[in-house]
Amino acid sequence: MKKPVHTPDLLPVLRPYPVAVKHAGVAFLSGVRPGTLSPRPHGFDDIPEAGRSRRQGFGLADRIEGEVSADSWAVHSSLDAVLAAAGTRDNQILRQHIWQRDKRFFPCYERVRASFQPKPSPSSGLGVGQVVGGARDWIGIDAIAVVPGEHPDRPDRAVTSAVYDPRLPSASHYSQAVTSGDLLFTAGHIPIKTAEPGKPLVQGFDDVPEEGRFLATGRSHPDSRDGPIAAQTWFVYEELRKLLAANGLGMDDVILSTVYLADLRDFPVFHRVHRHFFPGNTAALAVSGFDEVGHRGCKIEIELTAATGAAGKRKLIDWKIPAPMAAPAAVGIGSFLFCSGVVGLDAQGKPVTGSADVSAAGRSLVRRLEDVEVRRGFAAQTWACFERLSEITRAAGSDLKDLLKMTVYLRRPEDLVVFEAVRREFIADADLPAFECVAVHGPGPIAEAEIQIEAIGAL
């Protein structure tokens, strides 16, 4: 049973969404920001001593790092408050996303996180153009967590691959993998050889073994273009395969692969390598383009969600349009439906560009919204996204009102007004899921995408 969590003391990233939604022993959190819980600090002087490890004691040197540290303290205080409102706490987090306005200051954030979360969850840390919800916010977070004791099939989180796993040391303060019941969540993995001295970056075909070079031509020009993303994708998937194997699982157990690219032009080559690891097209897939992934030249970051010993129980949902990617439209497992990323495609699988391309039901509204949209085509693509998502949920025996978490990727936060006008035509306020919004240069896997919706629903 879907249960929204509302509290007057906590502000969601966008009203009237709940701060969290609970279902089958899991809490899905809306985006958490430094201002979710008031009052918010503004510098080193406003936070406890535990958050001041980067302080030097000189005004100019401490100005920026003090702001980032204060925002990090505030966002984790807010996160703890939302978790408490949902009946859980930080040691039950299954996955955490960290949106950062400038990853140069990640060391400030990591110090604060370590003081809040000595046994951290798997996480992915991405650089964004702007943290939606506060123009000056440095950090935004969203999360999924177990609600202890709420469902017999959802035991407390178990860390199966910790921060300092010698087989694959983490690149920062996060656990590699955790489980609860029939689900396993990995951290976002990047193409850094963390187990080797100097932690070198995978830069091309020469940095991976022969089995990872199946796209190599032996000619320098094509291999210099395709090699970096092909080798990095192969390396990351291979490391994730090893991590799954250490937990008694294989790639066939993956139900969702979430992929972050630094350059959307790399999507076709990534897709070739993805098909190599998922020849049966049995895992849902979501791909978007971020301002910064990983560090030191990383072109890709990948996180996986897998079913622990329940691969035979999965329910694959086919696309009602020509398949846009080598992935099902969604995968159902137990009480949950994990959808592939949905972009604004028409019934023929082509990106819509305006009101003339949408169905008759939405043409009038989209035409009016085109007068106020910031990015041309945003309103039409938003309508198409909801139509595709509606098809997917109905095919799974569910409905849009059963969505538990919706993450929206767009280029400009100003278009949220247009998004909400369309959303209200499909989902009533009383049925809203948890909500996160991320502003990035590449909302979807292709340059024409102005919006992408990632969703998890109830079954």
CATH number at residue 398: 3.30.1330.40
d(CA 54, CA 44): 9
Same domain, 9 and 142: yes
Same domain, 168 and 298: yes
Burial of 334 (0-12, 13-18, 19+ CB in 10 A): middle
* Ramachandran angles phi, psi of 126, nearest 5°: -120, 145
Which one-letter DSSP state was computed for residue 276?
Answer: H
What confidence category does residue 348 fall into, taking pLDDT thresholds of 50, 70 and 90?
Answer: very high
What confidence category does residue 163 fall into, taking pLDDT thresholds of 50, 70 and 90?
Answer: confident
For residue 435, the one-letter residue type is: F
List the beta bridge partners of residue 288: 260
pLDDT of 310 over the 70 cut: no
List the beta bridge partners of residue 407: 436, 454
Mean pLDDT of the chain: 96
Same domain, 240 and 335: no
Report how many helices (DSSP H) and strands (DSSP E) the chain contains, helices first.
7, 20
Q: Which domain does 259 fall in, by range?
A: 160-313
Looking at 129, 156, 183, the residue that finishes a domain is 156
pLDDT of 311 over the 60 cut: no
Which two three-digit tokens encode residue 341? 């990323």
Using the Cα atoms of residue 105, residue 108, residue 111 and residue 112 in order, give the sign of their dihedral: negative
Same domain, 167 and 291: yes
Which two three-digit tokens encode residue 384? 């198409």
Taking only the tens place, the pLDDT of each residue in 95-131 is 999 999 999 999 999 999 999 999 999 999 999 989 9
d(CA 172, CA 164): 10
Q: Find out whether 293 and 263 touch, Cβ atoms under 8 Å.
A: no
Question: Which pLDDT belongs to residue 162?
Answer: 87
Same domain, 341 and 453: yes
- Range list of β-strands (E), 263-307: 284-289, 292-293, 300-307
d(CA 141, CA 30): 9
Taking only the tens place, the pLDDT of each residue in 226-277 is 999 999 999 999 999 999 999 999 999 999 999 999 999 999 999 999 999 9
Looking at 257, 290, 313, the residue that finishes a domain is 313
| 3 state SS of 267 | helix
Same domain, 80 and 169: no
Q: Find out whether 266 and 300 touch, Cβ atoms under 8 Å.
A: yes
Same domain, 287 and 380: no
Cα Rg, the chain, nearest whole Å: 21
Number of domains in the chain: 3
> With left for phi above 0 and alpha for psi between -120 and 50, is residue 94 left, alpha or beta?
alpha
Question: Which pLDDT belongs to residue 169?
Answer: 83
Question: Which pLDDT belongs to residue 38?
Answer: 87
d(CA 315, CA 324): 19
For residue 266, the one-letter residue type is: D
d(CA 367, CA 362): 8
Contacts of 170 (CB under 8 A, 6+ apart): 163, 164, 176, 187, 194
Residue written as token pair 């030097």: 56
Q: Is the peptide bond before 39 cis (omega within 30 degrees of 0)?
A: yes
pLDDT of 312 over the 70 cut: no
Question: Which pLDDT belongs to residue 265?
Answer: 98
Looking at 156, 190, 219, the residue that finishes a domain is 156
Same domain, 203 and 92: no
Same domain, 340 and 411: yes
- pLDDT above 70 covers a percentage of the chain that reads 99
With CA atoms as reference, report the closest residue to 396 among 330, 350, 346. Answer: 330
Same domain, 349 and 374: yes
pLDDT of 166 over the 80 cut: no
pLDDT of 309 over the 80 cut: no
Question: Which pLDDT belongs to residue 134?
Answer: 85
What confidence category does residue 183 fall into, taking pLDDT thresholds of 50, 70 and 90?
Answer: very high
What confidence category does residue 185 fall into, taking pLDDT thresholds of 50, 70 and 90?
Answer: very high
Same domain, 178 and 132: no
Same domain, 244 and 133: no
Q: Find out whether 438 and 398 touch, Cβ atoms under 8 Å.
A: no
Q: Find out whether 215 and 226 touch, Cβ atoms under 8 Å.
A: yes
Crossing angle of helices 106-116 and 59-85, in 10° steps, is 40
